[in-house]
Each structure stands twice: as structure tokens, then as C-alpha cells.
Amino acid sequence: MITNGLKVFTDGAHKHRWGSWAYVITQNDLLIFEASGKVKSTDSLRMEIQAALEAIQSLSDQQEFEILTDCHILYANVLKLPKWKSYGWRKQNGSPIPHVDLYQKLDLLLTGKFIQWSWVKAHAKNPWNERCDQLCIRARGVAK
């Protein structure tokens, strides 16, 4: 259980060859910090992972917090990191892991931290998840 009230909402997106990532940090439901960025020639999942990486790096002095993502794939894959690592950063059947470079970075950043991962439904009127979506749109500089 997270005792300090820190929650990090993350989002990633892709449209018209541009990707974007965003995160919002709250404490006890008050905005603490937010950030976003854009990347050319990428995909949505890379941006979802990048959002988590950026958020964790920004909280390097914090040992515990909750990350809330609206990406089922990221949520599920974070739970697989220990297995993938034990298989030499491959899936159990030996096939490659998409975006393994980012998952390896994520694994390093998670070392020594207690991070609770949660999934939130996208576009379900959660104000912080919606804010992440807005930041992604703004970062890409394209209309929704």
C-alpha cells in the first residue's frame, strides 16, 4: 500500500507519424507536476512505455508511488518483467519481446522501488487520465 499519496498517471499516443507521451503526478489528488514530449516515427506502445520511464525518472528520489496507466499491454507486460529477465529478455517460447530496449530500462528504474501498478479505463472521465491525454495531444501539435 502506498502511504505517501503519490500517484502518477501516464499516457502515450500516436498519430500522423508523431508519437507523444505524458504524465501527471498528484499527491492526495492535488497536482504536483506534469510533463510531456513528442517523438517522430514511433508507435503508441513505445510512447506508453516512455511515459512511465519519464515519470519514474522524474521521481528518482521517491521510493514508493502508484502508476496508473490506461494501457492494458503496458500493465500486463510490467508484471512479466521478472520472467522475461530470467529468460534472457525473451519470451518463454524464445521469441523476441517488442520494445525490449525500453522494458530493460524500465526494469533498471524499478530496482529498489515499491511501485504499485494499476490500470484505469481511458476516456472514462478520470480528470488526471484526461489531462494526460490532453498533454499528449498538445505535445504532438495536432488536433484530435
Burial class of residue 111 in the structure, from the number of CB atoms within 10 Å of its CB (0-12 exposed, 13-18 middle, 19+ buried): exposed
* Low pLDDT (below 50) residues in the chain: 143-144
pLDDT of residue 124: 87
Half-sphere exposure of 109 (CA within 13 A, CB side): 21
Domains of the chain by range and CATH?
A: 6-140 (3.30.420.10)
pLDDT of residue 3: 85
The string of pLDDT tens digits covering residues 4-38 is 999 999 999 999 889 999 999 999 999 999 999 99
Does residue 15 contact residue 72 with C-beta atoms inside 8 Å? no
d(CA 113, CA 133): 26
pLDDT of residue 142: 56
